[in-house]
Every structure is written in C-alpha cells, then in structure tokens.
Amino acid sequence: MAGVLTFSGKRSGPLFWLTAFSSTVIVAFILFPLFEMVTQPSLGALGEAAADRDVVRAIWLSIYTSGMAALISLVFGTPFAYLLARRNFFGKKFLESVIDLPIMIPHPVVGIAILSIAGRNHWLGRAMQQVGIEIMGTTTGLVTVLTFVGLPFYVNTAKAGFEAIPERLENVSRSLGASAATTFFRVTLPLGWRSMVVGMIMCTARAVSEFGAVVIVAYHPMVAPVMIYERFTAYGLKYSQPVAVWLILVCLLLFLLIRFFSTSKTKAP
C-alpha cells in the first residue's frame, strides 16, 4: 500500500491528486487576478494612459530610481556579499540578520526610520542639508528608500552565487601567481556575474514594487505605485488599471531582456 503514496508508481493515488489540486489552485490564485486586471482595460484606455505625460514620467521614475538602487547595491553589496560567502568570523550571523532586517520591517516603518535621521531634528539630516542633500520629497529620497528595501535581495542572491563557486578555484588561481584582486576578476566574476545580474533584477523588482516606505518619504515626485494608488482613491478602479498594466508590461519586458542577455551569451560552446 505504501506505493500509493509515492510518485514512482502510476499517476494515481491521493498524494498525486492532492499535489495536482493544490498546485493548480496556487497558480490560478496568482495568475487569475493579474490576467483579469491586464485584460479588463480597453485598448483605448491603454492608449490614453500611454499618451499621458504623468503616467510615462511616473513609470520612468519608478524604473530609473529602482535601477539606481540596484546599481548602488551592486557597488556596495558585492564586496559585502563576497565577504559573507567566503569568510567565517565572529558576528557573521548577526550581520546576516542585519541584512535581512529590511525584508522584515513593515514598509511604512522603513520610511519613518529614514525620515527620523534625515530630518532637521537629527545631526545627520542637518549635515546633509548643509551640503544640499534633501531626502524628503526628492528623487534622492526615493533612491535612498528603494536601496534600503532592495539591498537584501541583491546581497543574498550574490552571496549564494559566490558560495556556489568552489573556493579551490580561487586558491589555484592564487597559487598560479594571481593576486586576490586579479583572482576576483579572472575567476570569481566570470563565474559569478550571472547571479549578480539576477540579484540586481531581484533588487530592482523589489524596489519597483515598493509603496509603503515611498509614500512616507516621497509622495512626490510620484513613482508608478503611488500614482496607481492615487488614481484608485481619487477616480476608482477603472482609472488605475491602465497605469498598472503599463507598469507590469514595462517591467516584464525589462526583466526578460536582462535574463536573455545574461543567459545566452556565455553558454559553453
């Protein structure tokens, strides 16, 4: 009777059907609302939205600020991810938890936390104002918030990628005469850059979808999620849908492109 509960036998038995049922429910649960939302607006409404300057600007701002967040994560996150992947040291577990914090904190709290050091009541906020950096209601503020929430996704993905590269390869490279820095560029980067790209995609995706923290730090300039929310509350479902569709389409296209370029080029001949 044990065979009934395994996949090795025929495609029957309660476990198979339970799995098939729950998988279908999950996929439908995710796709159905999205599909309905994408198909409900008329082509005319979509065209109108595409011609709307504010919509185009909001979507561009979303992508631009999220891309900046991914770039900042790349520059600062790569050495950190490499360190976490390669070294064992006291307090490493603590650092790893710190990196995960932005994922766990409620988003409005992230916004409030950033404002609490960027305002006039804090020495850092005053120092930044002196040199002309304004967080509240600026693109700088947007990038700051999005980097905060997107960074863990880059660091964790890049770290997993570095961990998958056998340390021995780096050791051999060193023994053959390459310095640590050269080894990174000749061995680690060629083997790990794909996971770095995936990390940037994840970071960007997370940043594009951020709403709660953005609303607190920079309602204006308006990124796409904020605009969608505003149109929803001010005019209703019908007016928010076309913008949402455009945001989804543009992001999908971008991610597909990046995925395409990061997998096709350096396949083994």
Partner 1 sequence: MIQIDHLTVRLTGFTLQDVSLTVEKGEFFSLLGPTGAGKTLILESIVGLVKPAKGVIRIGDREITHLPPEKRGVGIVYQDHALFPHLNVRENIAYGLRYHRKSGAHKNGSLDNLVERLGLTQLLARSIHKLSGGEKQRVALARALAIDPAILLLDEPLSSLDPNFREEIRQLLKDLHRETGITVLMVTHDFSEAHFLAQRVAVIHAGCIEQVGSVRGVFMRPVTPFVANFVGMKNIFPATFNGSHAKVETLSFQITNSGGGKGCIAIRPEHIQLLAAAPEDRHPNLMAGTIIRISNQGIYAEVVLDVSGVQLQSILTTSSLHAMDLRPGSRVFMNVAPEHIHFI
Q: In terms of CB distance, is 195 or 241 closer to partner 1?
A: 195
Q: Tell me which residue of 76, 254, 77, 61 sits closest to 142, measured CA to CA.
A: 61
Residue 254 burial (CB count, 10 A): 17
Q: How far is Cα 67 from Cα 12, in angstroms, rounded to an integer? A: 48
Q: Tell me which residue of 255, 250, 260 sits closest to 38, measured CA to CA.
A: 250
Which residues in 71-210 belong to E strands, given as ranges? none
Q: In terms of CB distance, is 27 or 164 closer to partner 1?
A: 164
Place of tokens 């279908």: 24
Provide, rounded to whole angstroms, the least separation between the CB of residue 82 and partner 1.
16
Provide, rounded to whole angstroms, the least separation between the CB of residue 175 and partner 1.
5
Q: In terms of CB distance, is 120 or 168 closer to partner 1?
A: 168
Q: In terms of CB distance, is 44 or 269 closer to partner 1?
A: 269
Q: How far is Cα 176 from Cα 112, in angstroms, rounded to an integer? A: 51
Contacts of 111 (CB under 8 A, 6+ apart): 145, 212, 213, 214, 215, 216, 217
Amino acid, single-letter form, for residue 223: V
Contacts of 154 (CB under 8 A, 6+ apart): 70, 73, 74, 77, 81, 196, 199, 200, 202, 203
Provide, rounded to whole angstroms, the least separation between the CB of residue 173 and partner 1.
7
Provide, rounded to whole angstroms, the least separation between the CB of residue 203 and partner 1.
25
Residues within the interface to partner 1 (CB under 8 A): 88, 166, 168-169, 171-180, 186-187, 190-191, 266, 268-269
Q: In terms of CB distance, is 22 or 171 closer to partner 1?
A: 171
Provide, rounded to whole angstroms, the least separation between the CB of residue 177 and partner 1.
3
Cβ pair 219, 226 in contact under 8 A: yes
Provide, rounded to whole angstroms, the least separation between the CB of residue 181 and partner 1.
11
First and final CA of the chain: distance in angstroms?
A: 48
- The CA angle 119-120-124, to the nearest 5 degrees, is 70
Q: In terms of CB distance, is 124 or 189 closer to partner 1?
A: 189
Q: In terms of CB distance, is 193 or 219 closer to partner 1?
A: 193
Provide, rounded to whole angstroms, the least separation between the CB of residue 167 and partner 1.
9
